[in-house]
Amino acid sequence: MKAPRLPSPFRNVRHAPRNFTFRSSHVDGRAMRWRDRKEALEAEAGGEAANDAPRKLRFRQSAGPGIDRESRIQAARSARRRAMVRSFAILLVLLYAAWRGLLWVETTDFAKEYLLPPGP
């Protein structure tokens, strides 16, 4: 005897899921006028768009084989170097600010509250 089949809460790939699509019977006149106007403007602006001819693809021409690649590699290296220098400068500023903060704490009344007593 086979076990009864229970409905699964997970998606069953053998059956298409039930879905609902609402199709309105109302036609918006503004949307139709807008679409017509847009098509007319596109036909005027791009002469080829009016006769539905496919547009030609334009590819960028490089100066030569390997030249453009080398310049991109060099630009990436210099960008990495600038980022490293920038992060090092930020680290130095933060370390200086922490050091000055420690000096300030030691010279004020906060030293008694925040710093440990000077040994046993």
Query: Is 102 contained in some domain?
Result: yes
CB-based contact 114:105 (threshold 8 Å): yes
> Would you say residue 96 lies in a domain?
yes
76 and 68 Cβ atoms separated by less than 8 Å: no
Is the pLDDT score of 116 beyond 70? no
17 pLDDT above the threshold of 80: no
The structural domain count of the chain equals 1
Helices (H), the chain: 29-45, 47-50, 67-107, 110-114
The answer for residues whose C-beta is within 8 angstroms of residue 42's C-beta and 6 or more apart is 49
Q: Can you list the pairs that 78-83 forms with residues at least 24 positions away whose Cβ atoms lie under 8 Å? A: none
109 inside domain:
yes
* Reported confidence tier of residue 82, pLDDT bands at 50, 70, 90: very high
Q: What is the pTM of this model?
A: 0.38
| Owning domain of residue 95 | 83-120
